Amino acid sequence: MNRREIVLASIVHVLGARPNFVKAAPVIDALRARGAAQAVVHTGQHYDERMSEIFFRELGLPEPDVNLGVGSGSHAAQTAALMIGLEAEFLARTPDLIVVYGDVNSTIAAALVAAKLHIPVAHVEAGLRSFDMTMPEEVNRRLTDQLSDLCLVTSPEAIGHLAAEGVPTGRTHLVGNPMIDTLLKNLDHFDTAAVRAAHGLPERYVLATVHRPANVDDPATAAALVKHLHGVADLADLVIPVHPRGRANLIAAGLDTHPGVHVLEPLGYIDFLAAVRGAATVVTDSGGLQEETTILGVPCLTIRPNTERPITITHGTNRLVTFDDLVPQTRKALETERGEGTRKPPLWDGAAGPRIADVIMEFLGE
């Protein structure tokens, strides 16, 4: 365990995976401006340098006060290790509030530990629902919301979801999307030409990311997906930074055997969003990328039967597709003008971090 000197902190942020870092950066910055005492606990759920440390550098996040170094494992093993490590940290720091982000295992582990220690929890990105309980993320987000004292929601439909589940309305606050704060703050740094030059990419390409268990964990499913991705590559070059999860199955299925497929290692935040910004179309099963393409005006095809972010469909560029729909929908997207007919979701304006900080400071004052 890498540890700096422990100091008492009123607020502890628990971060585990790259989407957490992007959401946390504007919140930590806004709380710092208000003079809040803060500590950052990095659980090490994402431990590859390109999935973790580079994000801290690029986003201006403070160096974590501790890295638990949990790493990968089954859901049970990883969550248990997270809870043991987080309990020790919370007992040592005696915080007034734990802030958790998104829906990864670090999120639910921190919420459970805090609840048992009677420490209040604030959940950033509360209320999102896919209504698919086969998704580990759906289990995590539902349980985290029930344990949270502050449910900080990114889009209006989340308010209704929380109310339907019996969360008192006084806990719920519509604050906007801090992930979009980070995107807008860094927009001028997304240099698509530089990324193309660095990786030898063509001027016109489709960018893909896949990592959901339902798409990559089963070898037969991964092979079927690769077949359709090759179909996309028949239409335009396909650029795919390969997530550690699923890499073995995708490569075994021949992902890199098509001459139009460019397999890359995971990219840092700036380079990845630069590549997204320059893409003709994005193919993904990521949640956050549905949001980022909505703001960037890039057509997005989400290879899932559902989404917990329907506002990216009603107010953005996102469409849900099946494997069989992927090639014809890509062809259609490639013929569509960028950003056509899109509306930006409410409060996705770059000021979610300050709104979250205001809610937290008021809560702590009370």
Residues assigned a catalytic role:
211
With 0-12 / 13-18 / 19 or more C-beta atoms within 10 angstroms meaning exposed / middle / buried, residue 218 is: middle
CB 17 within 8 A of CB 102: yes
CA distances from 200 to 6, 193, 226, 265, 296 (A): 45, 10, 22, 13, 23
Phi/psi class of residue 246: alpha, beta or left (left: φ > 0; alpha: ψ in -120 to 50)? left
The CA distance from 303 to 290, in Å, is: 11
Cα dihedral across residues 21, 3, 147, 285: positive or negative? positive
d(CA 3, CA 89): 11
| Strand 281-284 with 205-209, pairing | parallel
Pairing verdict, β 261-264 and 237-241:
parallel
